[in-house]
Amino acid sequence: MSPDAGATALDYLYDRNPDPGTVIDIAPGVRWLTMPLPSSLNHINLWQLEDGDGVALVDTGIFSNASKQVWEQVFAGALKGRKVTRLIVTHAHPDHIGLAGWLCETHGIELWISETEWTMGRRFSLEPGKILVESGVALFRRGGLGGEAEAMAQARMITRVPSSPVPATYHRLEDGTVLSIGGRDWRVIVGRGHAPEHCCLWCPELDIMIAGDQVLPKITPNVSLWPGRDAEDPLGNFIATTNTLEETVPDSVLVLPSHNLPFHRLHNRLRQLRDHHAARMDEVLAATDAPKTAAEVVPMMFRHRTLDQRQMAFALGEALAHLQYGVTLGALAREDRADAAWLFHRT
Stretch that binds Zn ion, among 163-171, 205-213, 240-248, 316-324 (CB under 5 A): 205-213
CA 244 from chain centre, in angstroms, equals 17
Q: Which of residues 70-99 bind Zn ion (CB under 5 A)?
A: 93
User: Shortest approach of Zn ion to residue 214 CB, angstroms?
Assistant: 9
- Of the candidates 309, 314, 313, 316, the residue with the CA atom closest to the CA atom of residue 293: 316
Smaller CB separation from Zn ion, 184 or 194: 194
Query: Distance between CA 34 and CA 19 in Å, rounded?
Result: 7
User: Shortest approach of Zn ion to residue 196 CB, angstroms?
Assistant: 11
Stretch that binds Zn ion, among 50-58, 74-82, 136-144, 207-215 (CB under 5 A): 207-215
Smaller CB separation from Zn ion, 213 or 296: 213
User: Shortest approach of Zn ion to residue 344 CB, angstroms?
Assistant: 26
Query: Distance between CA 59 and CA 36 in Å, rounded?
Result: 13
Smaller CB separation from Zn ion, 17 or 258: 258
- 180 CB neighbour count, 10 Å cutoff: 10
The type of residue at 158 is: I
Smaller CB separation from Zn ion, 41 or 300: 41
- 298 CB neighbour count, 10 Å cutoff: 23
User: Shortest approach of Zn ion to residue 276 CB, angstroms?
Assistant: 17
Q: Which of residues 152-181 bind Zn ion (CB under 5 A)?
A: none
Backbone dihedral angles phi then psi of residue 244, each to the nearest 5 degrees: -60, -45
213 binds Zn ion (CB under 5 A): yes
- Of the candidates 87, 89, 93, 22, the residue with the CA atom closest to the CA atom of residue 62: 93
Dump the DSSP string for 127-141: SHHHHHHHHHHHHHH
User: Shortest approach of Zn ion to residue 93 CB, angstroms?
Assistant: 4
Smaller CB separation from Zn ion, 197 or 213: 213
Q: Which residues bind Zn ion (CB under 5 A)?
A: 93, 213
